[in-house]
Amino acid sequence: MNLYHKKQRWKIILVLIAIFLVGFSLWYSNSVVKKVAQKEKDRVTQWADAIKRKADLVNLTNNTFDALRENERKKVELWTLSMQEVNKDLTDYSFVLAVLTQSNQVPMIITNQKGEIENTHNLESIKKLSTQDKKDTLNQLIKNWQVTHPPLTLNLFGNNNQTVYYYDSKKLSELSYSKDSLYTAFTNELVNNSDLVPVLFIDKDNRSIIATNIPNISDSLNQSELNTAINQISLTTDSISINFGHDQQGVIYYEASEELTILKYFPFVQFTIIGLFILIGYLVFSTFRKAEQDQVWVGMAKETAHQLGTPISSLMAWIQLLEAQGIDPSTILEMNKDIDRLNTVTNRFSKIGSKAILKSENIVPVIKDSIDYLRLRISKNINLTFTNEQSDIQTPINSSLLEWVIENITKNAVDAMDGKGNILVSVKQTELDVIIDITDSGKGIALSKLKTVFQPGYTTKTRGWGLGLSLVKRIIEDFHKGKISVLKSELNVGTTFRIILKAD
């Protein structure tokens, strides 16, 4: 019966099933993420098309406004020429008056050669102002207008030239304001849109920002910082190029939306949470199962000790009868040793489940007595040797349980050598520890089994239960607070077990 191998087989099957389920879940979630990512790319592409159409609209509107402004300038130029004609000796002023009438919507300010304001046209809003306020306002208007609208010169008779300052008509100004409002609203809809994925739109030639809705990116970034931001965005998504015409090109970089990022990492978070719940559940049930197993072990051990009491008492009576019949004393002595050993075993089983009492004593004679007892009861072809570097090594132990450990490991070594070989048991003391090494020349343990030799169910015997080394580990680590391990092992060469206890 090999419980360990069956448990390992089931573990492998369950792990393979878990790997398949996790892999399938990750594949499915990844496919969903790819579909969502493609939809977001399509949204950015549509946004890029909208930007292209906006650029076309801007160019068309600007061209229209340029034409309107040019038309109004020509009207002002005609008005200037008409004013010059008025100063000439004409017989018919009808054409000149018609031209002057057509320019009655363009606001104008006329100054003389000294820069003094002589006249205004189409500026009814300032008529209610005081003289000084009117003068200040007109001077400010002249200063502002000439920035975008170059003034015209009006040549009058007698070299008395005047300067004509003008600006957009009221209707054209209203249209310009409406255009700017439309552009602002359009930009807010396309760029400053929280529902749009994070985008960075730059000019391809001069690497300047055209538009972006990413909070930590703005026009204040220098070129190095902007390049760093672009490189970070480019790690996860592709860029989209857009052509505005007139040899102007832009590039759109976009990031995955917050929802897509959450969706991408959600399976890992989900598996982590599920894994934690499974781990907690496993630990809880494992603790309950171990406690239940311990109770079974304790009950079985105490029952075994109780059952051994009757045959031991009977054997003691038979030995006394043999002594009375004059049997060889050496035979009686060895039989008494076996009876003592049975009493020791019974005592061990009766103490399972109780708190082990440790007493500081010399470990050398304890190990030596155990080895001497075993030496007479194993094959003569096995050389069982005990060595000790010091004669007095004090350590807190339960001698009965420690003898059990030495016997168990030594008997396993005997079984591993098929009745022929060498076993060396050595003990030494370091500054802090007491080290016991048990070395055999048996079959050795495979490297893959080294971590499982102390688990319940592990055995190389056809009839073994695989509990001996598990009990050994429990006695050393739980009762004596020491350590036991396989120090080294090589197939067909041998194995060394090492026990470490605290020195006094």
d(CA 455, CA 470): 6
- Return the closest-CA partner of residue 44 out of 201, 188, 205, 259: 201
pLDDT in tens, 218-262: 777 777 877 888 787 777 777 777 766 556 677 878 777 666 777
Which band of pLDDT confidence, cut at 50, 70 and 90, is reported for residue 339?
A: confident
Q: Which single residue is written with the structure tokens 């934690």?
A: 276
Which has more confidence, 396 or 20?
396
Query: In this predicted structure, what is the pLDDT of residue 360?
Result: 92
Among the listed ranges 208-222, 362-376, 402-416, which one has the minimum average pLDDT value? Answer: 208-222
Q: In the chain, what percentage of residues exceed pLDDT 70?
A: 78
Query: In this predicted structure, what is the pLDDT of residue 192?
Result: 58
Query: In this predicted structure, what is the pLDDT of residue 180?
Result: 64
Report whether 199 contacts 212 (CB < 8 A).
Answer: yes
Q: Give the count of alpha carbons within 13 A of 377, CB side only.
A: 13
Residue 244 is given by DSSP the state E
- Return the closest-CA partner of residue 260 out of 42, 38, 36: 36
Give the pLDDT mean for 194-218: 74
Give the pLDDT mean for 273-300: 75
Q: Which of 36-45, 64-73, 324-333 has the highest mean pLDDT?
A: 324-333
Give the pLDDT mean for 384-396: 93
d(CA 175, CA 179): 6
Which has more confidence, 404 or 267?
404
Query: In this predicted structure, what is the pLDDT of residue 501?
Result: 95
Apex CA 67: angle with CA 61 and CA 72, to 5°?
A: 125
Q: Which of 35-49, 117-131, 435-449 has the highest mean pLDDT?
A: 435-449
Which band of pLDDT confidence, cut at 50, 70 and 90, is reported for residue 85?
A: low
Q: For residues 355, 361, 363 and 365, what is the CA-based torsion angle, rounded to 10 degrees?
A: -120
Q: Which of 85-99, 221-235, 306-320, 408-422 has the highest mean pLDDT?
A: 408-422
Round the CA-based radius of gyration of the chain to a whole number and report it. Answer: 52
Apex CA 40: angle with CA 34 and CA 45, to 5°?
A: 125
Which band of pLDDT confidence, cut at 50, 70 and 90, is reported for residue 97?
A: very low
Question: What is residue 477's three-state secondary structure?
Answer: helix
d(CA 441, CA 449): 18
The two structure tokens encoding residue 305: 């000790």
Which has more confidence, 414 or 56?
414
d(CA 504, CA 498): 19
Question: What is residue 286's three-state secondary structure?
Answer: helix
Query: In this predicted structure, what is the pLDDT of residue 241?
Result: 77
User: Which H or E run contains 147?
Assistant: helix 131-148
The two structure tokens encoding residue 182: 């439309």
Tell me the β-bridge partners of 133: none
Query: In this predicted structure, what is the pLDDT of residue 248?
Result: 66
d(CA 55, CA 499): 82
Mean pLDDT taken over the chain = 78
Among the listed ranges 163-172, 199-208, 372-381, which one has the minimum average pLDDT value? Answer: 199-208
Pairing, β 494-502 against β 483-490: antiparallel
**Is residue 88's pLDDT more than 90?**
no
- Return the closest-CA partner of residue 138 out of 122, 162, 153: 122
d(CA 254, CA 199): 4
pLDDT in tens, 435-465: 999 999 988 888 888 878 887 666 666 555 5
Which band of pLDDT confidence, cut at 50, 70 and 90, is reported for residue 33?
A: confident
Give the pLDDT mean for 274-281: 80
**Is residue 77's pLDDT more than 80?**
no
Q: For residues 470, 408, 364 and 504, what is the CA-based torsion angle, rounded to 10 degrees?
A: 10
User: Which H or E run contains 321?
Assistant: helix 258-324
Which has more confidence, 289 or 87?
289
- DSSP per-residue string spanning 182-206: HHHHHHHHHTS-TTSPPEEEEETTT
d(CA 287, CA 437): 32
- DSSP per-residue string spanning 49-65: HHHHHHHHHHHHHHHHH
Contacting residues for 285 by C-beta, under 8 A, at least 6 apart? none
pLDDT in tens, 5-21: 566 677 788 778 888 88
d(CA 108, CA 128): 17
Query: In this predicted structure, what is the pLDDT of residue 484?
Result: 94
- Return the closest-CA partner of residue 497 out of 463, 458, 453: 453
| Fold assignment, 355-502 | Heat Shock Protein 90 (3.30.565)
Domain ranges of the chain: 3-165, 191-254, 261-354, 355-502
Give the pLDDT mean for 123-146: 84
d(CA 57, CA 301): 94
